[in-house]
Amino acid sequence: MKRPALLAVALAGAVLAAVWLGPLALRELGVFRVRRVELVGTRYLAPDRLVARLGLQPDQNLFDDVRAIARRAEQVPGVVSARVERRLPGTLRIVVVERAPVAFAPGPNGLVALDADAEQLPYDPAATGLDLPVVPRPDSVVLGALARVRAADSTLYQEVQTAELGPNGVVIVHLGARRLLLRGVPPLEVVQAVAAVRRHLAMSGRRYAELDARYRGWVVVRRSHT
C-alpha cells in the first residue's frame, strides 16, 4: 500500500477511535496538531498581528476549544465577529467580519480610520491602500451619513472628498467643486433619490453646484452654493 493511502487509513482509524473515546482523546493525538492557520475575510487588519492575538500554543491541537479562539479574535479592535473551523488534519480556518472604515480623521500621528459609530480602527492606511473621505473630527452623525451614502450608492460615495457637520445638524458632503446637503443621517431612499437626480442631470448635460436633500420628497438642484 502506498504512503498516501496508508496515511489516509491511519487518519480514518484515528478519527473513528477518537469518536468512540471522546474529544479528550482527539486532543492527545499528535497528528491533529495545528500546523496551519488560514484567515478569511481580512482586508484591513494585518494578518500576522491578528494571529498573534489568538493565543495559539506551540502544541495547539485541532480539537482544543475553538470557542475560546473565536472569543479572542472578537476582542481584536476592528473585528465584528469570528468563526473558527477545523480542517483535518491540522488546519484552523478563521473567518472574520471586519468593521468597515467610513472616513479618515486627523490623529496625533496622521490620519486614522473611523467606522460609522466614530470608533477608531487599527487599520494602516499605507498598508491597506484605503481611499476614504476625510472628516475634520470623529462625529457619529457625519460618519453615519457617509455610511448611508456608501450603502445606497457606491459611485456617489467614491466621489466624496470631505464631509462636515454644518448648522442645525446639516451634513455637508463635498464632491469636488459640488456639494450635497443632507439632514443628519438620511434614510436610504433619500440617497437613492439623490443618485437618480444625479443620473438625470448627467444624461441631460445640466451643470449644478449643489444638491439639497434636506426636504422630504424633494432634491433641490442649485447652480450655485447657497
Q: What per-residue confidence (pLDDT) applies to 20? A: 47
Tell me if domain 31-98 and domain 103-222 are identical in fold: no
Model's pTM, two decimal places? 0.79
What are the pLDDT digits (tens) for 131-182?
A: 999 999 999 999 999 999 999 999 999 999 999 999 999 999 999 999 999 9
Q: What per-residue confidence (pLDDT) applies to 127?
A: 80
In sequence order, the β-bridge partners of residue 171 are 165, 182
SS3 26: helix
The domain 103-222: what is its CATH number?
3.40.50
DSSP codes joined into one string, 72-91: HHHTSTTEEEEEEEEETTTE
Distance CA 223, CA 210 (A): 7
The residue ranges of every structural domain in the chain are: 31-98, 103-222
Query: Which CATH entry fits the domain spanning 31-98: 3.10.20.310, 3.40.710.10, 3.90.1640.10, 3.40.50.720?
Result: 3.10.20.310
Encode the chain (226 residues) as per-residue pLDDT tens digits. 455 555 455 555 555 554 444 555 555 555 788 999 999 999 999 999 899 999 999 999 998 899 999 999 999 999 999 999 999 889 999 999 999 999 999 998 889 999 999 999 999 888 888 999 999 999 999 999 999 999 999 999 999 999 999 999 999 999 999 999 999 999 999 999 999 999 999 999 999 999 999 998 899 999 976 6
> Do 132 and 102 touch, CB atoms closer than 8 A?
yes
pLDDT for position 8: 52
The DSSP 8-state label assigned to residue 2 in this structure reads -
